Structure 1
Amino acid sequence: MIEPVVTAWKDRHRSVSGHQSAYAMREIVNSIFYQGRTGCQWAYLPHDLPQKSATYYYFAAWRDDGTDQVIHELLRCQVREKAR
Structure 2
Amino acid sequence: MDVLGLIIGVVVLPASTHDNEAGIALLDQAAERCGMRLEKVLVDQGFKDAVIIHGAVNDITVEVVRRNPDDQGKGFVPQRKRWVVEQVNGTLMLHRRLARDYDHRPDNAASRIYWAATAGMLRRLTAPSPAWRDEMELAA
Higher strand share: 2
Higher helix share: 1
Question: TM-score, normalization: structure 1?
Answer: 0.35
Using CA pairs below 8 Å that are at least 6 residues apart, which structure has the higher relative contact order? Answer: 1
Question: TM-score, normalization: structure 2?
Answer: 0.24
